[in-house]
Amino acid sequence: MKKIVVLQIPNSKNNGSAMMAINSINFFDSQFKQDVEFCCDFSSDEDKLRVVAELNSGVKISRLALPKLEKGSNMVLSVFNRLRWIKDTITLISEKKILSVIVLGGDDFSEYYSGYKIIFRLYFMYRLSLKFPVYLIGHTIGPFKSWRKNAFSFLMARCRIVTRDALSLEHCQKDLKHKHSLQGHDLAWFNLPKQTTELKDKMLTKYSLQENQFVVVTPSALVTHYAETEEDYFSSWKKLLEHLRAEGRQIVLMPHVFNHVKRDDRWVISEIKKQVPNLDGITYIDDMLLPSECRAIVSSCYFSIACRMHAAVSTLQTGKPNIALSYSVKYAGVIGGDMDLPELVIEAADGALWKGGVVEEINEKVQFIEENYDLLTAKIIARVQVIQEEQSEIMNGFGKQMLENKGTAFVK
C-alpha cells in the first residue's frame, strides 16, 4: 500500500488546521482509490480521532509519532537539540517507504517567526527534500527580508510550493527566485466530507436557531494580536454586541480554536459574556465543535464576523458574507485577494482602533453587506466554484506526479 506523510497538523483542535488536513486527505484518498495510508504528525490520539471523525469510512490514517523536541537550556544546546530532532525525524520517515511528503498550508513560513526558528523550519524542509518529494500546499509565504530571503531560495529549491494567494506567489517567484511555485488556494475552500444538509439541520435544532435569522461572531483568544489591553478588546466586543442587539439581530458567539487556557476561543467568549451578562438574544457556544459542525452553523447564518481567518473562509465557502478582522497579511491574500473581497476585510491589528473605532468600522461593513447582499452572495458562490476547480486541477496533477516519482526526491 502507498504511504504519504502529512505534516503540520499536530493540533486538530484548531479547526483551520483540521479543515486543511481533512480536505487534503479526502482528496488524495479519493484520487488513489483508497489504496493509500496517511501518516500524520498528530500530537495526540485525540487529535487523530477528530480528523478521523470528519472523514468517510475506509480512509486509512496512522499517527506518525515524531520524536520529542527537547528545549535547550542555552542557545547552543537548543541548536543541537533541533538538529538532532531533524535527523531523527528524517530517519523515522525513511523507515515508512513513503510516496511523498505533504506539508499543509498556513503561515508557518513567514516572518512571524524569529530568525533562528524560521531557519530551522526551512532547514527541515531542505533535509526532507533531499530524501523525498516534498509538496507544500496552500501556503502564505513570507514576506521574507534580509538574509532569510537567500536562505529560503537555497533551502526550499527542491520543494514544490502551492501558494494560497497571488501576493505569496509573486514573492516566491520575484523576490525569493523560487522556480517551482504555483498559484493555488487555501485547502479549506473544498467541501468537507461531512458537510451535509442533515448536519446543518441537526446543529440548528441543537442550538435553537433559525436559518438566516442570526449573525455568527467568532472572536479570537489571540488578544494581543489586536488590542493593547484586554480591557480595550473586551469593551469593544461589548459595544458591538449591544449595537447588534439594538438592531434586533440574534447573535451566536462560536469558538474556532480549542487549545490552552488563553489560546482557547471558549475562554475569550466566556470573558465577553461577563461584559454583557443581562443581554438576551445571544447564544454562547462552549462545545468543542468539529470543523463540519462549525461550517454547518455558519452556512445557516445571515453573515458572520470573524477574527479567525478559517472561520471567515468557512462562512464564505458556504456562500455567506463575512467581515474579517485581520491581524496578518494572510487575510489580505486569501480573502481580500483570492476571494476578491477587500471591502470585507478590516486591518484590525491596531491598538488604537480597539480603543475606539473598530465597532464603527464593523458597522460600516454590516451596512455594506445589507445594501449589497444579493450581489455579494452571487459573487462569493461563483468565486468559490472557480477556486475549487482550480485547486482540484493542481492537486490531481500532484497526485499523478507522486505516482510517477515513486518516492524519488526532486532535483533542483
* CATH number of the domain to which 148 belongs: 3.40.50.2000
Q: Is residue 376 a part of any domain in this protein?
A: no
Same domain, 391 and 360: no
Same domain, 230 and 337: yes
Residue 89: pLDDT band (50, 70, 90) is: very high
Same domain, 132 and 6: yes
Same domain, 311 and 206: yes
Same domain, 360 and 249: yes
The number of distinct structural domains making up the chain is 2
SS3 319: coil
Same domain, 166 and 35: yes
Same domain, 150 and 212: no
Q: Is residue 157 a part of any domain in this protein?
A: yes
Distances (CA, A) of 355 to 48, 219, 267, 293: 41, 17, 21, 34
Alpha-carbon distance of 25 to 50, in angstroms, equals: 13
Same domain, 106 and 201: no
Question: Residue 113: its pLDDT value, please?
Answer: 54
Residue 115: is its pLDDT beyond 80? no
pLDDT tens string 50-78: 999 999 999 999 999 999 888 878 888 88
Same domain, 14 and 159: yes
> In which domain, by residue range, is 353 found?
197-371
* The one-letter amino acid at 285: I
Q: Is residue 378 a part of any domain in this protein?
A: no
Q: Is residue 82 a part of any domain in this protein?
A: yes
Residue 302: is its pLDDT beyond 90? yes
Question: Residue 183: its pLDDT value, please?
Answer: 94
Same domain, 147 and 265: no
* Mean pLDDT (whole number) for 275-289: 95
* Mean pLDDT (whole number) for 79-92: 94
Q: Is the model's pTM score more than 0.85?
A: yes
Same domain, 220 and 335: yes
| Per-chain mean pLDDT for the chain | 94
Strand 60-63 versus strand 36-40 pairing type: parallel
Question: Residue 260: its pLDDT value, please?
Answer: 67
Residue 114: pLDDT band (50, 70, 90) is: low
pLDDT tens string 226-274: 999 999 999 999 999 999 999 999 999 999 999 866 679 999 999 999 9
Q: CA 192, 198, 201, 207: dihedral to nearest 10 degrees? A: -70
SS3 352: helix
Question: Residue 400: its pLDDT value, please?
Answer: 97
Q: Is residue 275 a part of any domain in this protein?
A: yes
Q: Is residue 11 a part of any domain in this protein?
A: yes
Same domain, 186 and 234: no
Q: Could you give the residue ranges of the DSSP H alpha helices within 2-64? A: 15-31, 45-52
Q: Is residue 381 a part of any domain in this protein?
A: no
DSSP 8-state code for residue 290: -
> Per the structure block, which three cell numbers stand in for 34?
483508497
* Mean pLDDT (whole number) for 167-191: 95
Q: Is residue 284 a part of any domain in this protein?
A: yes
